[in-house]
Structure 1
Amino acid sequence: MSHALQSEEATRVALAACYRLAAHFQMTDLIYTHITAKVPGTEGQFLINPYGRRWEEITASSLVKIDTDGQKIENTAASVNPAGFTIHSAIHNARPDAHWVMHTHTKAGVAVSCLAEGLLPLNQTALQFFERLAYHDFEGIALDHAERSRIVSDFGNHSALVLRNHGLLTVGRTAAEMFNNMFYLNRACEIQVATLSMGRDVVVIPESIARRVASQNDQMSFDDGGLELEWAAHLRMLDSIDPTFRT
C-alpha cells in the first residue's frame, strides 16, 4: 500500500495523529488505554503514549520507545504503563501484519461487549464486520501474561476484536487501516446502542443480504486508494485544529 510508513519519524507523526483523532472523536479513556505502533526496521521495538498525558497532548516526540515487555529502551523521563501493553504485545508479536494496534473503552463499545449477542448485523456499517469480528471472553484485568496466548488464539487473523465486558481492539498494516477499522467498529456500536434504546421493532437484515454486503465489501477494497484519501482528510483536519501533533 502506497501510504505505508517507512521511517520512525513518520511513524511517530502518524501515531500522534491517531491519538489526536481518537480524542477528537471522543474515543479516549482519560489517560488510559493505548494505541501502539511497531518501529519500522526493528524487531521487538514499539511506540506508545507517555503515561499520564491526555491524548489531546500527544506529540510525535513525546511518544516512548519500548520493548516487548513494555519497558523503556531509551533515556527519557516519561513513564509508561507496562500493564497496558500486555494485550498489544501479544498481538504485535503474533501477527506480522499487525504493525498498528488500537484499544478503546468507549461507552458504546463496552456496552456492546457486554451483550451476549455482541455486535448485531443491524445496518450497513455493522455489516462491514459480518463474520469478520472476533471475541475474547473476559478474564479480569489483562495483567496475566498467560492470557496473551488465549487472546491471540481467539483473535485469529481478524482485524477487529471485541474483548467481552471490556472494550474494542483493532489492528492494521498502517495507521490509516487500523484507525478506519476502529472508527467504523465504534460507530457500528453507537448505532446499535441508539437503535436498541428506542424500544421499537427492529428491521432484521436477512442473512443472505448480510453475506451479499460482506461480499460487496470485499470487492470495494480500500487498496484502490480510498484509505489514503481518508487519512489525508484526517490529517488536514488535525492541521487545521492544532498541528502540534507533528512536533
Structure 2
Amino acid sequence: MTSSVKDLVSEQEWKTRVDLAACYRAVAMYGWDDLVFTHISARIPGPDHHFLINPYGMMFEEVTASSLVKVDLQGNKVMESEYDINPAGFIIHSAVHEFREDAKCVMHLHTPAGIAVSATENGLLPLSQQSLFALSSLSYHNYEGVALNEDEKSRLVADLGTTNFMILRNHGLLTCAETIADAFIYMYLLECACQIQLKAQSTGQNLVVIPEQILAGIQAQAKQVTRSAGGTLAWPGILRKLDRTNPGYNN
C-alpha cells in the first residue's frame, strides 16, 4: 500500500498510524524485536472497535503508517490491504482491547531478558527503581502454548485485571496503556528491569532487595513519573531520533 491511505482515513486515524509505525521502529531501534513476530496494536479513535496491527512478514524497522492493517475485534480486515496478520498474535491483543476500554495500545514482546525473567519462579524482583514502577501494576499469566485458543482470552484478561504490566510465563512481556507513548514507556521500564535483574543475578553475589515499605509507596510515585509525564515527555524525543536514524515511518 502507498501513502494514499492517508487520503482514505481520518486525521485521528492517520496520527495513530504514524505513532504506531514509529513504535514498531522504536522497538527495532532498541533491539527488542523478534524478526517478524510479536505485535503492537492500537485502537483507532472513534465509535468503531477497529484496530491497527503490523502486516505479518514485515520487519519492525520497515513498518510504515500506510502498511498497518486495520481489523475488527475478530481479526477481520475492515480496510483493503495486501497484507495479512498473525492470528496467534491477535488473540492476545483482541482479548485485552475487548475487555479493557482504557487499553488503547497493547504491546507484546519476546525479548530474551523478558522471557528469561518470565521463566524464573519468583519472576520480577524489586532490585531496581525501574522494577518498582512495573511492580506497582504487575500481573502474571501462565503459559498455555501458542496463543491460538479463543478460550485462553478470558483467563488472560482475568489475570491482567486492571494492571498495565504483565509477564507472560515462558513467553514474554506485555504492557497496555491509554496512549502508544505510555505503552512504550511502560515496556521500556519493564524491559530495563528484566535486564538489570539478570545482570545482578549473574554476578553470583547476594542481592539487595528494596524494602517492602518503599515498594508499598511507589504506586503514587509511579503515577506521577510514568502516567503524568512519561510518554508525553519522552515520545517526541524518540520520534526525533527515528527521524535521524530511520526516517519514513510516517509514509
TM-score relative to the length of structure 2: 0.92
- 1:26 maps to which of 11, 20, 31: 31
Task: Letter of the 1:65 partner, please give it.
Answer: K
Instruction: Give runs of aligned pairs for residues 151-170 of structure 1, distance below 5 A.
Output: 151-170=156-175
Could you say if the C-alpha distance between residues 221 and 103 of structure 1 is closer, same or farther in structure 2, counting changes exceeding 3 Å?
A: closer
Distance 2:230 2:143 in 1: 35
Report SS of the residue matched to 2:129.
coil
Contact kept? 1:110, 1:165, Cα under 8 Å: yes
Distance 1:50 1:169 in 2: 19
Deviations 1:76-100 (A, max 9, x none): 2112112210000000000000010
Distance 1:221 1:191 in 2: 19
- 1:181 maps to which of 186, 189, 192: 186
Distance 1:246 1:233 in 2: 15
Distance 1:154 1:76 in 2: 34
Instruction: Give runs of aligned pairs for residues 67-86 of structure 1, distance below 5 A.
Output: 67-86=72-91
Indicate yes or no: 2:247 matched with 1:243.
Answer: yes
Contact kept? 2:56, 2:86, Cα under 8 Å: yes
Contact kept? 2:125, 2:197, Cα under 8 Å: yes
Identity %, equivalent residues: 48
Aligned length: 242
Instruction: Give runs of aligned pairs for residues 94-173 of structure 1, distance below 5 A.
Output: 94-173=99-178
Indicate yes or no: 2:28 matched with 1:17.
Answer: no
Could you say if the C-alpha distance between residues 236 and 219 of structure 1 is closer, same or farther in structure 2, counting changes exceeding 3 Å?
A: closer
Contact kept? 1:70, 1:81, Cα under 8 Å: no
Contact kept? 2:140, 2:167, Cα under 8 Å: yes
Higher mean displacement: 196-205 or 101-110 = 196-205
Task: Letter of the 2:158 partner, please give it.
Answer: S
Instruction: Give runs of aligned pairs for residues 206-221 of structure 1, distance below 5 A.
Output: 206-220=211-225
Task: Kindly report the root-mean-square deviation, in angstroms, between the aligned alpha carbons of the 2 structures.
Answer: 1.5
Distance 1:37 1:215 in 2: 26
Contact kept? 2:184, 2:231, Cα under 8 Å: no
Could you say if the C-alpha distance between residues 74 and 216 of structure 1 is closer, same or farther in structure 2, counting changes exceeding 3 Å?
A: closer
